[in-house]
Copies of this chain bind each other. A is one copy, B any other.
Amino acid sequence: MAIRYAVIGTNWITDSWIAAAEKTAKWQLHAVYSRTKEQAEKFASKYACSNLYTSLDDLAGDRELHVIYIASPNNLHYDQAKQMLEAKKHVVLEKPATSTSAELDDLFRIAKEQGVYLIEAYRHIQEANYKLLRKIVVEEKRLGPIYGASFSYCSYSSRYNNVLNGETPNIFSLDFSGGSLVDVGVYPVTFAVALFGRPKTQSYVPTICRTGVDGGGVGILQYDGFGVQINNSKSYQSSAPCEIYGEKGTLTINFTTDIDSLKLWSPHTKTTEELAGPCKRVEKPNVNMEEEAAEFARILQEKDTNALQSLETISRNVLHVTESMRRQAGILYPADK
């Protein structure tokens, strides 16, 4: 039986999730929520879905729903997820899960009390090529002892033009728990945390933009015996690849998401080997969330609490890291106060 789900948030990311869920044939879009009926109708008209909600109470009360996918502005995640978990709905919550670790702890506690699952939607660590990378580095230890890594996600956002023009788009707003680190910096941070665990310490030097959030910045996660460079931005672009350095070689990865190249260079043979298979990605419509949607369905259907716990640990560690980096740098949200 397909998993019946509703969506909160009517941005492009929700369209992407729906397209990916559909491709897996494991999910069935059952309802759409939006604050206004007009917006709900407009969004739902693209899909065979006639259950429209403008009340979160009514949505939470829909007995036919198993899962709520939430992709609203960051600052609304906590209250919305809390309400849905308390109504015993599983929740797939877009990253960044919440504004603070305290909020995330609370959501995981409620989920456990209610006997439902809370999953943060980190798509990139569900990719087949990411899993291959993890196998090479962590399980097979083909790089030998790790000497360092360099992970980045720096992509100029068209909305940064609005910032330069004096506007404050949600994702560049302190009130909406925005900024580059929590929006795209989480990709390299998750990458590090999923490979190496929670760092001992972390530091962050942001470049603060007109609206008070970080337009981008550089940081270091300190592990036992090595450091991981983090570079993230929505206000500048980088074409540098990601790299993991080890005694037995350097692994060069095209990017922290949508991996389609894993090149392993050996200092001993001076040769480079390509290890990645083709990336599961279709540009238009954007269905690079398919592996994620399939895995989350599997976890729900098989009640795979080990996988669930492992994702929970990653989510907690990532938020611990980004919250610490953000606060050190003086980037404070209303939820921090």
Contacts and interface: CB of A to CB of B under 8 A. Distances in A.
A238 B231 contact: no
Copies of this chain, tallied across the complex: 2
Nearest to A201: B205
A233 B205 CA distance: 22
A242 to B, nearest CB: 9
A147 B215 CA distance: 9
Contacts of A227: 205-207, 217-218
A149 to B, nearest CB: 9
Interface in A204-218: 205-208, 215-218
Contacts of A160: 267
A99 interface: no
Interface string A241-253: 1010111001010
Given A154-B245, A236-B250, A250-B236, A203 B220 contact: yes
A236 B240 contact: no
Contacts of A243: 238-240
Given A220-B203, A246-B236, A231 B231 contact: no
Interface in A222-240: 222, 225-229, 231, 233, 235-240
A233 B147 contact: yes
Contacts of A235: 147, 247
A239 B241 contact: yes
Interface in A312-335: none
Given A218-B227, A220-B220, 12 more contacts: A150-B218, A150-B231, A205-B222, A206-B227, A216-B245, A218-B220, A218-B229, A229-B229, A238-B243, A238-B245, A238-B250, A240-B241
5 contacts: A218-B220, A218-B228, A220-B220, A229-B231, A239-B243
